[in-house]
Structure 1
Amino acid sequence: MLYTLSPPHHTHPINRTSNTRIRSCIKSHSSNVTNMRWADLKAAVGQRINVQGILFSVSVVTRNKHWMIPHVSVPDVTYIDWVALKTKGFEGVVFDKDNTLTVPYSLDLWGPLTASVESCKSVFGNNIAVFSNSAGLEEYDPDDRKAKAIEFAIGIQVIRHKMKKPAGSAEEVERHFGCDSSKLIMVGDRTFTDIVYGNRNGFLTILTAPLSVAEETFIVKQVRKIEQALLKWWLRKGLKPENARLLPDALDCVKEPPTI
């Protein structure tokens, strides 16, 4: 009886090429997963410890206290008169996300804000965006996964950028909107990040109270207490922000008198 032996499976040239491709795909997928997990880990740590924010905070406390003073403070965005701001000549609105539009780490717009956000969209059209210290940040969201999730959930575009607030210039934001920062509004709940960034770069700055502090980490809660204490102290001392060119009286954009 004659036996015909087939070449061993692993020596077949087609299979060898196929195996090489499979190994390459597995290696590439593994690398992508590792990079995504590393970005998520850095984002989680970065949201708890903002080194750039700490360095800028030192600068604020020692030399630039006025950076921390918002042009106006409101309980939440429902108090903002978007029509009045548009009438004054403002062309776009930049929102922080966590505790300004959503509770921390959530993708869902906080229910009571829906009507105001929809009003903002109707007034400013596509000229509204989210500027976050996690989603859209090149270091923490390299594949835009978080930015796209937010855009899908709340229908507001997320600005892609390279530096965390309060560091960085307004260049990326100005490029996004196609106008000078003096015609933009920065809305956020953190004075050391959102307000300092906005004031440094010539925005109109609006400070909101946090929607919920229950989900915040211990470090963030402590920093927030320091922010609030310093803000109250400096306001009692009469410290004021630099005038906003388009809105000399910031209360013109508030539906009800703000409380701090």
Structure 2
Amino acid sequence: MMGLDRLVAIMRRLRDKKTGCEWDSVQTFETIAPYTIEEAYEVSEAIHQGDMDGLADELGDLQLQVIFHSVMAEEIGAFTLDDVFDRICDKMERRHPHIFGDAKQGGHQLWEEIKAAERKEMDDQSALAGVALALPALERAQKLQKRAARTGFDWPDASGAKAKIAEELAELEAAGNDAEREEELGDLLFAVVNLARFLKVDSEEALRKANRKFEKRFRTIEAHPDFAEADLDGKEALWREAKKA
């Protein structure tokens, strides 16, 4: 049995209400969705680590998520795995007319024009339509800002984005209660993402790298024999040493 057919058969057996797995058989689209997102990030982490063996494992886990959702959809007559493959094949061919059609030139600009034309056929005609709610907040902010910028709603240069950060910092300082502080902090984060966009920096990836850097340095100072007994100044001194290293 070919790999994909084998995996589909395994999932169908696990989903059997009488003889299947007590966990897999009761899952829904909603309960599985968080695992789908998690597996995508684990693929990204394996790539970052340069772990090809781990990447093969994680891609398998991610493929399982596609099969899981497709089998559940098949059970209720919504769509099948073949429908999933047909739709992505149709989409890839449609968005590459310079490869599969008569267009003379391709590139990212053509891709975006085709996507924009597809959005015009949707019920939601907003420039922001289709930016998934489930995206990480930084990444979603970035996409929302890019979409808005295409309509001309944007600062002319990075100075406007920098000024907005200063404005939001002042509003955060002036916030009078927890609800206001939460709102103003959200506005500040949104403004920082906007500056990152002007600097051609992917804010989601930048924060991931900052997280990794913090974790590496903290683990270094945490392993120091003086860490546990050191006061804040002592811990800060260890941190500065770790930064030098």
Would you say same fold, with TM above 0.5? no
TM-score by length of 1: 0.20
Structure number with the higher helix fraction is 2
More strand by share: 1
